[in-house]
Structure 1
Amino acid sequence: MEEIQQLVRDCLANNRLSQERLYRKFYPALFLLCRKFFNNPEEAVEVLNDGMLQVFTQLSKYDAEKGAFFNWAYTVVRNTALDRIRLRKWPESQELEEDVGSTQNNILSKLAWEDIYKLLDNLPPTTRAVCSLFYLEGFSIRDISDKLQQSPGTVKWHLSETRSKLKPILEQHYLK
């Protein structure tokens, strides 16, 4: 913990070596976060790099009394990924007003991360983002709607698409 606080202090002093060490320390976890949203690894790295640039430029806003540095950096990178998704041209989608099942007992929580990424690769980008936020990050439909600037009905539609596209794959390969 003290090592991270020292790295943060050095980064605030614009020490490039400390910035690189901090980047490398969090790269694995933050890359996996970005892969939740983007199936192209190059795009995931690009978003991670954009997010870490935000971390370094907004480092003075970090308050150690409010929480761990990793949690703050994770949030900054996740928000950078969501901004990238939000700025894409959204295809017109149908809205679905049915209730969406809870995240309890969802099969994704029982799979290894490698399997989850293989499953997510089968989804279109927007549906993948909604699925990741709902099932993997635990966001509510309202929160996803606010973050992606879409109606709750559209978010529900994407969750329905997730279930319809992944159900046959899960039944065939994982639920035997």
Structure 2
Amino acid sequence: MEDLQQLVRECLVNNRRSQEQLYRKFYPALFLLCRKFFSQPEEAVEVLNDGMLQVFTQLEKYDAAKGELFNWVYTVVRNTALDKIRKKKWPVHAAIEEDVIVTQNNIMSKLAWEDIYKLLDTLSPSTRAVCTLFYLEGFPIKEIGEMLQQSPGTVKWHLSETRSKLKPILEQYYLK
């Protein structure tokens, strides 16, 4: 723990080696996070790098009393990914009003990461983001709508789209 605190102190004075060490320490988990949102590994790395730049430029805002450094970094990188998704102009779909049934034991939680990425790659970027936030990150519909600046109805539409696109694939390959 002391090593991490020392690393943060060195990063605060722009020590490039310490920044690289912190980057490498968190890279595996943060890459997996970014990969959930973006189908191309290059795009995931780009967002990860943008997020880590935010981390290093805002590191003085980190408060150890409020939580672990990794959780703060994870949130900064996730928000960077969401910002990129918001800024892109995705096709707008008509929202449908349908109740979304949430189950604690969803199939996504039972798959290997490689399989989840293959499934996510079949979705449009905006639908992929909603799916990731809802099923993998556990955010409620209202918060997802606020994060992505979408109405709850649009978020529900994306969840419906996720189910309609993934159900045949899951039935064919994973639910035998």
Q: TM-score over 0.5 for the alignment? A: yes
Give the unaligned 5+ runs of structure 2. Answer: none
Residue in 2 aligned with 1:148? 148
Structure 1 moving runs of 4+ over 2 Å: none
How far apart are the structure 2 equivalents of 1:136 and 1:19?
29
Say which SS state the counterpart of residue 74 (structure 1) adopts: helix
Deviates more, 1:59-68 or 1:92-101: 92-101
1:103 CA displacement:
4.0
Deviation at 1:51, TM superposition (A): 0.1
| TM-score, with length taken from structure 2 | 0.98
Q: For residues 165 and 46 of structure 2, what CA distance do their matches in structure 1 show?
A: 27
- State the alpha-carbon separation in 2 of the partners of residues 115 and 4 from structure 1: 33
Query: Please, what is the CA RMSD of the aligned residues?
Result: 0.7
* Match of residue 78 from structure 1: 78
Per the alignment, residue 67 of structure 1 pairs with 67
State the Cα deviation string for residues 91-114 of structure 1 (Å, max 9, x = none): 120111111111412100011111
Alignment-mate amino acid for residue 75 of structure 2 = T
How many pairs align? 176
Correspondence for 1:56? 56
Q: Normalized against structure 1, the TM-score is what?
A: 0.98
1:4-153 matches, cutoff 5 A = 4-153=4-153
* 1:13 CA displacement: 1.3
Per-residue deviation, 1:90: 2.6
Q: Please give the alpha-carbon distance, in whole angstroms, between the structure 2 residues aligned to 1:38 and 1:148.
A: 15
Cα distance in 1, alignment partners of residues 99 and 3 from structure 2: 46
